[in-house]
Amino acid sequence: MVDFCKNADLLIHDAQYTDEELELHSSFNQAMTTAEKANVKNLVLTHHDPSHDDIFSGNIEKMCQNRFPSCQLAKESLEFTL
């Protein structure tokens, strides 16, 4: 995966769970590790667990941005110009 997205301007990555919840999908930390190793410029985390509420998601986004500042959670109507 790292080689595939090496130096990408944007990586949209599945990140449905925390490390503790991990089951058949990527965790937030795994997505950030991939982005860091690949030297990705912007990271968007997608495929959110519907049991996580907006407060949980907001806290996760802040935690992720502390580690990877150009990270954000995908939201309805989010658009990028490439």
Contact assessment for residue 14 and residue 46, using Cβ atoms and an 8 Å cutoff: yes
pLDDT over threshold 70, residue 21: no
Arithmetic mean of pLDDT over the chain:
89
Contact assessment for residue 64 and residue 80, using Cβ atoms and an 8 Å cutoff: no
Tokens of 37: 């190793």
Q: Between 19 and 68, whose confidence is greater?
A: 68
| Spatial separation of the C-alpha atoms in residues 54 and 2, rounded to whole Å | 30
Q: Between 38 and 54, whose confidence is greater?
A: 38
pLDDT over threshold 80, residue 16: no
> pLDDT tier at 27 (50, 70, 90 boundaries)?
confident
Please tell me what DSSP assigns to residue 50: T
Tell me the one-letter amino acid at 24: L
